Chains A and B, each alone.
Chain A
Amino acid sequence: MTPGTVLLEAQHVTQRFRLPNGQNLEALRDVSLVVRENEVVALVGPSGCGKSTLLRLFAGLARPADGKVLYRGHALDGVLGAAAMVFQSFALLPWLTVAENVAMGLEARGVDGAARRDAVARAINLVGLDGFEQAYPKELSGGMKQRVGFARALAVAPEILLMDEPFGSLDPLTAENLRSQVVDLWRDPATGVNTLVIVTHSVEEAVFLAGRIVVFGSNPGHVREEMANPLPYPRQERSPEFEEMVDRLHAILTATLLPEPAPAAPQRLVPFPRVHVSEVTGLLDHLLTRPDGKGPVFELAEDLGVDYDRMSAVVRAAEQLGWVTTPGEIVQLTAAGREVMAMDDAARKDVTRARLAKQPLFARLVAMLKESEGAVEDEEVLADLTIYFPFIPAESLFATVVEWGRYAELLDHDADVGRLTLLGWEGAAEARVE
């Protein structure tokens, strides 16, 4: 199966959302991507990088704020009829039976009567759900429900199958089983499906399924890199070629998630990663137990049981505080990191305070607080964060700032009044009540 004509195309697509608090969040910026006939394309990247947003744009469920989405060269107008979609949360209507759910897409295509019954029976048979036609979704396990999701998509014999983390809410065993079936379905000419686009979180999944892997970066979402995966199907997960491909994707993702600092970077305002204090100390603790205090980021993620983009956020926070360095994929505990772990709690807080005060975002906040006699209203800080980081939800960044500020006894926050205060500032004393 060689890639053929261009089916779907995103041209310089930008997408924005309005959050309930009024912030305009940029989810995608200037994304261009092509999906060809007979391809399996995987979209991977950290959460919040807009990969699911792009999938919804391809499906025609939303319109881009800027740019164009084309199907076979024509601008998309409304929902794309040539595609069907599989959802992470299955999205089955709980009051319809399996057969009725599977028949959902047929009405719009004018498939009626016996033809509809045939199409439903065929789709149910393809995913191996025979006998469950009259069951309600609540009677099925997660894996079974997602089979219904696939059957519903296959019933309309779509040209393109769009999948939004279809195995994300399944247990690993079920996910693995369903994954190989998806490859079989794609290779089976009887299904009519010849092109797949899958959004996934899992590196192994992307390498197992896709012929081309598109890596997204975040803040705002953009395409970082594309990687071709020429391994022949069916793929063997334990083969050295497969492992090598996984390592290559790891390297690309690391470069995306843990970029090398630009030489002589000016004091640019970098956001502090939205991670908890305990996660950073947990990482340092774990590194201490390793020989030489180092390890590759994907291995750390696996050992600690967190996903890689969370892990890399924790690593970035530790790096901003000077406790680890990241040469390539390797996370290395620094001397300062070892020192801080040997300290008692009070000393650790002192060091953290000193380090945070140098972090550009915190430094800016402290300056702002000093200017206004040690206290600033929440709205003012939030407005500031929104301006500097338009692609990060300001409220969650604010919560991180408050948590770290409190831990380091640098800042305090009065949630009742909605005010941020600077600790240890001489102006604060005179404003104290009683």
Chain B
Amino acid sequence: MKPLRLPHAPPGLADVAILCLLGGVIATLVAFAREFQAPFAQAVQIDLRPAALPRYTLYSLSRGVTALVISYLFALAYGWTAAKSRAAERLLLPLLDILQSIPVLGFLPGLVLGLMALFPARNMGLELAAILMIFTAQAWNLAFSFYNSLKALPQPLRDACKVAGWPPGRTFRQLEVPAAAQGLVWNGMLSMAGGWFFLMVNEAFRLGDHDYRLPGIGSFMSVALDQGNGQAMALAIVAMVIMIVCVDQLLWRPLVVWVEKFRLDESSDGEPELSSWVLEFLRRARLPRRAAVLQRRAYRSARRAARPLERPFRSVGPIILRGPRLALEHPIARWVGVALALAAVVGAAVLGAWRLWGLIAQLGWREWGQLLSSGALTFARVMAAVILSTAWALPAGVLIGRSPRIARALQPVIQVVASFPAPMLFPLVILLFERIGIGLGLGAVALMVLAGQWYILFNVISAVAAIPQQLKDATAAFRLPRLTRWRMLYLPAAAPALVMGWVTAAGGAWNGSIVAEYIQAGGALRATRGLGSLISEATAHADFPLLAGGIALMSLVVVGWNRIVWRSLMEWARARFGYAQ
């Protein structure tokens, strides 16, 4: 028995901090639950006084965290199913690919109307819609990450669990989830950032003559914009930054450091040591250990209390379970189950497609012409945004990634900056552009750059930082001139990651177009022709056929372009510039 030592110090600062945090979390949850249950009202008054901002920030944060929890549950279920069944894999993976690339914002109106119909009297419908919209921005990469981790799990580990006779549940808890923990945490960080992107729209949007608003930092910003209240806008931006920094420092940093212990490959040489002051702080605290002891005691007493029930349950349990087990294990029953599930999925898809067709069929030639020409315009803007982003992010990424010291120092800063939802800045940028005489037609490109550039920067930095030292030595030892060194070493080494970045940046730009081409700022509406503005406009006028057509077209273009252009470009870059020797 090894002794478990406690720190010598009595409960100290760390414990007080933990208690305060716990109290804050509980208070937030209670307030949020109340908001959830509140009776629904049109165009809720948003209080623009600074004093109201903390409460709004916590509401928005609660929505983001709730969505993240749902996203994790979804990712575990979806990834597990896709990894376990070949049939499911064939259906779920392409589906995930599509879900990841279509502009989900377009589904907001339908979602809101549906949920409002379910809960007409309460805020619940609107809240659920907002949470689900955040969920759609968070879930897919988590599911991908979990699926990939499961697929990458070494077979010997699986075999060891089988030999040990672990039931699937235990394997899931003690092998599959821990092995995927690192990916899940890193992707959770990205998801959280992605979830904020449409915060303003999710919390305040107009559908026809309905004005839906939820108290939150996004609606605060959008009301401030409507009223042209500069002070409130600045406050909202500051509050957003504070929230992002707090979430990063209090949640993600400690998690990232903590999941290091679930690394599967044990060679961590040369990797920069990660540290989190919060985690250090918590480790000093006495309370968590006390809580662990209490929990163990409580568990033991519960077991003791349940002992009289154990025997009857043990004899009855298998009898009760026999039915389901038979149903699960019998080949015919399984076949029927799979067929039923498939039928449900196909049925839903057919129904959805039918409904969509019903809407789209109402569009005339003129509308189609309008859709296609705006589609071409927005497509040009997306490509321009990708090129512009590359023009600055590629050199910057190489410069940063080349020096491990600079990369280590800048990475956290860039991460926080990149988490900031770009659409919150759109109106300000546009007002600035108007001052210097640039219209929204071109300005929208700049906004779309804001929405997509970070993916390129991140990808290039990590690819350049991963170049083996001996390759850098070789180019130095043979005295390659600077330009040649970029051409022969840095750019090729960054190429596969750059293409990866393009895929995501273009996705971000397409999404961004919906809010970049149609902006309410300073009490006035600014719009420029484009598919994004068409979608926004259709939403504002509750023109559902046009909305459906716009969304369908955008999804088609994005998915098609991904499949045909990006994918082949990616395969080429990997084959040509991969390290695999």
Chain B residues 41 to 100 lying within 8 A of chain A, measured CB to CB, are none
**Any chain B CB within 8 A of the CB of A346?**
no
B254 / chain A contacts, CB cutoff of 8 Å:
none
Q: Which of A108, A412, A423 contacts B478 (CB 8 A)?
A: A108
Given A20-B272, A107-B484, A138-B581, A428 and B479 touching (CB < 8 A)?
no
**Any chain A CB within 8 A of the CB of B410?**
no
0/1 string, B280-302, CB within 8 A of A gives 1: 00010000010001000000000
Contact between B470 and A433, CB atoms less than 8 A apart? no
**Any chain A CB within 8 A of the CB of B579?**
yes
**Any chain B CB within 8 A of the CB of A85?**
yes
**Any chain B CB within 8 A of the CB of A89?**
yes
A414 / chain B contacts, CB cutoff of 8 Å:
4-5
Contact between B474 and A91, CB atoms less than 8 A apart? yes
Contact between B5 and A94, CB atoms less than 8 A apart? no
Contact between B581 and A373, CB atoms less than 8 A apart? no
**Any chain A CB within 8 A of the CB of B159?**
no
**Any chain A CB within 8 A of the CB of B312?**
no
Count how many chain A residues have C-beta atoms less than 8 Å from C-beta atoms of the other chain: 47
Expressed in whole angstroms, the minimum distance between the Cβ of A164 and any Cβ of chain B is 9
**Any chain A CB within 8 A of the CB of B442?**
no
Contact between B5 and A93, CB atoms less than 8 A apart? no
Chain B residues 456 to 474 lying within 8 A of chain A, measured CB to CB, are 468, 470-471, 473-474
B468 / chain A contacts, CB cutoff of 8 Å:
89, 91
**Any chain B CB within 8 A of the CB of A316?**
no
Complex CA–CA separation, A432 to B481 (angstroms): 64
**Any chain A CB within 8 A of the CB of B307?**
no
B481 / chain A contacts, CB cutoff of 8 Å:
107-108
Given A95-B577, A137-B581, A374-B5, A87 and B484 touching (CB < 8 A)?
no
Expressed in whole angstroms, the minimum distance between the Cβ of B181 and any Cβ of chain A is 15
Complex CA–CA separation, A109 to B479 (angstroms): 9
Q: Which of B2, B270, B289, B484 contacts A20 (CB 8 A)?
A: B270
Given A89-B468, A105-B478, A428-B3, A20 and B273 touching (CB < 8 A)?
yes
Given A21-B273, A434-B293, A79 and B576 touching (CB < 8 A)?
no
Select the residue from A93, A109, A373, A429 with max chain B CB neighbours within 10 A: A93
B576 / chain A contacts, CB cutoff of 8 Å:
95
Chain B residues 1 to 50 lying within 8 A of chain A, measured CB to CB, are 2-6, 8
Contact between A91 and B578, CB atoms less than 8 A apart? no
| CB<8 Å pairs between A and B, sample of 28 | A20-B273, A61-B473, A88-B470, A91-B468, A91-B470, A92-B474, A93-B488, A94-B577, A94-B580, A104-B474, A104-B475, A105-B479, A107-B481, A108-B478, A108-B479, A108-B480, A108-B481, A109-B479, A138-B580, A373-B8, A416-B283, A421-B3, A423-B2, A423-B3, A428-B5, A429-B3, A432-B4, A433-B289
Chain B residues 86 to 135 lying within 8 A of chain A, measured CB to CB, are none
Expressed in whole angstroms, the minimum distance between the Cβ of B268 and any Cβ of chain A is 10
B579 / chain A contacts, CB cutoff of 8 Å:
94
Select the residue from A79, A95, A108 with max chain B CB neighbours within 10 A: A95
A-B pairs under 8 A by CB, number = 102
**Any chain B CB within 8 A of the CB of A84?**
yes
Given A104-B478, A108-B479, A432-B3, A91 and B270 touching (CB < 8 A)?
no
**Any chain A CB within 8 A of the CB of B500?**
no
Chain B residues 470 to 510 lying within 8 A of chain A, measured CB to CB, are 470-471, 473-481, 484, 488-489, 492
Contact between A91 and B272, CB atoms less than 8 A apart? no
**Any chain B CB within 8 A of the CB of A222?**
no
B489 / chain A contacts, CB cutoff of 8 Å:
93
**Residues of chain A whose beta carbon lies under 8 Å from any beta carbon of chain B:** 20-21, 56, 59, 61, 79, 81, 83-85, 87-89, 91-96, 104-105, 107-109, 137-138, 145, 152, 156, 373-375, 412, 414-419, 421, 423, 428-429, 431-434
Contact between B289 and A84, CB atoms less than 8 A apart? no
A109 / chain B contacts, CB cutoff of 8 Å:
479
Count how many chain B residues have C-beta atoms less than 8 Å from C-beta atoms of the other chain: 36
Contact between A412 and B470, CB atoms less than 8 A apart? no
Complex CA–CA separation, A88 to B468 (angstroms): 12
Contact between B492 and A84, CB atoms less than 8 A apart? no
Contact between A156 and B478, CB atoms less than 8 A apart? yes
A419 / chain B contacts, CB cutoff of 8 Å:
5
Closest 3 CB pairs of A and B: A105-B478, A108-B479, A91-B474
Complex CA–CA separation, A20 to B5 (angstroms): 29
Given A94-B579, A138-B581, A375 and B477 touching (CB < 8 A)?
no
A417 / chain B contacts, CB cutoff of 8 Å:
283
Select the residue from B5, B8, B488 with max chain A CB neighbours within 10 A: B5
Complex CA–CA separation, A168 to B282 (angstroms): 46
Contact between B2 and A79, CB atoms less than 8 A apart? no
A156 / chain B contacts, CB cutoff of 8 Å:
478
Contact between A93 and B471, CB atoms less than 8 A apart? yes
Contact between B470 and A87, CB atoms less than 8 A apart? yes
Q: Please, which residue of chain A has its CB at the minimum distance from the CB of B4?
A: A433
Q: Please, which residue of chain A has its CB at the minimum distance from the CB of B488?
A: A93
Given A93-B488, A95-B577, A59 and B5 touching (CB < 8 A)?
no
Q: Please, which residue of chain B has its CB at the minimum distance from the CB of A56?
A: B473
Expressed in whole angstroms, the minimum distance between the Cβ of B574 and any Cβ of chain A is 11
B471 / chain A contacts, CB cutoff of 8 Å:
91, 93
Contact between A431 and B470, CB atoms less than 8 A apart? no
A96 / chain B contacts, CB cutoff of 8 Å:
488
Expressed in whole angstroms, the minimum distance between the Cβ of B346 and any Cβ of chain A is 44
Q: Please, which residue of chain A has its CB at the minimum distance from the CB of B290?
A: A433
A428 / chain B contacts, CB cutoff of 8 Å:
3, 5
Complex CA–CA separation, A84 to B479 (angstroms): 10
B283 / chain A contacts, CB cutoff of 8 Å:
416-418
Contact between A431 and B479, CB atoms less than 8 A apart? no
Contact between A61 and B476, CB atoms less than 8 A apart? yes
Q: Please, which residue of chain B has its CB at the minimum distance from the CB of A406?
A: B2
Contact between A421 and B5, CB atoms less than 8 A apart? yes
Q: Please, which residue of chain B has its CB at the minimum distance from the CB of A419?
A: B5
Q: Please, which residue of chain A has its CB at the minimum distance from the CB of B404?
A: A20
Select the residue from A20, A92, A412 with max chain B CB neighbours within 10 A: A20
Expressed in whole angstroms, the minimum distance between the Cβ of B288 and any Cβ of chain A is 11
A431 / chain B contacts, CB cutoff of 8 Å:
3, 5-6
Given A93-B488, A94-B579, A138-B581, A79 and B3 touching (CB < 8 A)?
no
Expressed in whole angstroms, the minimum distance between the Cβ of A341 and any Cβ of chain B is 28
Expressed in whole angstroms, the minimum distance between the Cβ of B279 and any Cβ of chain A is 11
A137 / chain B contacts, CB cutoff of 8 Å:
581
Complex CA–CA separation, A348 to B283 (angstroms): 36
Given A56-B473, A432-B4, A84 and B478 touching (CB < 8 A)?
yes
Expressed in whole angstroms, the minimum distance between the Cβ of A201 and any Cβ of chain B is 17
Contact between A79 and B492, CB atoms less than 8 A apart? no
B289 / chain A contacts, CB cutoff of 8 Å:
433
Complex CA–CA separation, A234 to B544 (angstroms): 87
Complex CA–CA separation, A137 to B489 (angstroms): 15
- Beyond A89-B470, A416-B283, 8 extra complex contacts between A and B, CB < 8 Å: A20-B271, A79-B477, A88-B470, A94-B577, A94-B578, A96-B488, A108-B481, A373-B8
Complex CA–CA separation, A423 to B5 (angstroms): 11
Contact between B488 and A432, CB atoms less than 8 A apart? no
Q: Please, which residue of chain B has its CB at the minimum distance from the CB of A377?
A: B7
Complex CA–CA separation, A94 to B492 (angstroms): 9
Complex CA–CA separation, A179 to B516 (angstroms): 65
Expressed in whole angstroms, the minimum distance between the Cβ of B581 and any Cβ of chain A is 5
Expressed in whole angstroms, the minimum distance between the Cβ of B264 and any Cβ of chain A is 17
Expressed in whole angstroms, the minimum distance between the Cβ of A52 and any Cβ of chain B is 11
Contact between A93 and B473, CB atoms less than 8 A apart? no
Q: Which of A61, A89, A432 contacts B5 (CB 8 A)?
A: A432
Expressed in whole angstroms, the minimum distance between the Cβ of B301 and any Cβ of chain A is 14
Complex CA–CA separation, A137 to B471 (angstroms): 13
B476 / chain A contacts, CB cutoff of 8 Å:
61, 79
Expressed in whole angstroms, the minimum distance between the Cβ of A77 and any Cβ of chain B is 13
Complex CA–CA separation, A349 to B578 (angstroms): 50
Given A94-B578, A412-B3, A59 and B477 touching (CB < 8 A)?
yes
Q: Which of A85, A89, A415, A429 contacts B477 (CB 8 A)?
A: A85
Expressed in whole angstroms, the minimum distance between the Cβ of B96 and any Cβ of chain A is 31
Expressed in whole angstroms, the minimum distance between the Cβ of A40 and any Cβ of chain B is 20
